[in-house]
Amino acid sequence: MQGRKIAKIILGIGALICVGLFVFFYIISNKVKKELQAQVNSTISAFNQDGIAQITFDPFVCKGFFSYECKSQRLELSTLWGQKITEVRDIRFGFKNITPKSIDETLHLSTPNFFGDIYEAEDLGGVEVNYEGSESIKDAKIGEILNDWKLSFDLLAASLKLQGKRRNQDPKWANQNIIQIEMASMRNLGAKLLNAGQDLAYQELELQIDSKGLENFAYTFLQKRGMEMSKQEYEEQVRMTAVQLKSTIQEDPQLSSWKDALTQAIDGAAELLLGEAKSLKLKLRSKDGGYVNLKNFTQQYSLDTLRSLSKVFNLSTEVKK
pLDDT in tens, 103-113: 899 999 887 66
Q: How far apart (Å, rounded) are the C-alpha atoms in residues 66 and 33? A: 9
In this prediction, residues 93-116 reach a mean pLDDT of: 82
pLDDT band at 189 (very low <50, low <70, confident <90, very high): low
Question: What mean pLDDT is predicted for residues 301-313?
Answer: 82
DSSP assignment letter at 68:
E
The mean pLDDT value of the chain amounts to 79
Q: Calculate mean pLDDT across residues 227-237.
A: 87
169-183 pLDDT, tens digit each: 888 888 888 888 887
Q: How many CA within 13 A on the CB side of residue 185?
A: 20
DSSP state, residue 118: T
What is the C-alpha to C-alpha distance for residues 129 and 127, in angstroms, rounded to an integer? 6
Dihedral over Cα of 131, 72, 40, 46: its sign = positive
Instruction: Identify which of 320, 206, 201, 188 has the alpha carbon closest to the alpha carbon of residue 267.
Output: 320
Quick one: what percent of the chain has pLDDT higher than 90? 24
How far apart are the C-alpha atoms of 269 and 248, rounded to whole Å? 16
pLDDT reading at 279 higher than 60: yes
pLDDT for 283 beyond 90: yes
Confidence of residue 209 (pLDDT cuts 50, 70, 90): very high
The pLDDT value recorded for residue 130 is 92
Would you tell me how many other CB atoms lie within 10 Å of the CB of residue 28?
11
- What are 35-54's pLDDT values in tens digits? 888 888 887 887 766 666 78
3-state secondary structure at position 167: strand
Neighbours of 4 (CB within 10 A): 8
Q: Is 168 helix (H, G, I), strand (E, B) or coil?
A: strand
State pTM to two decimals.
Answer: 0.80
Q: Cα(311)–Cα(287) distance, rounded to whole angstroms?
A: 8
| CA 201/CA 13 separation, integer angstroms | 50
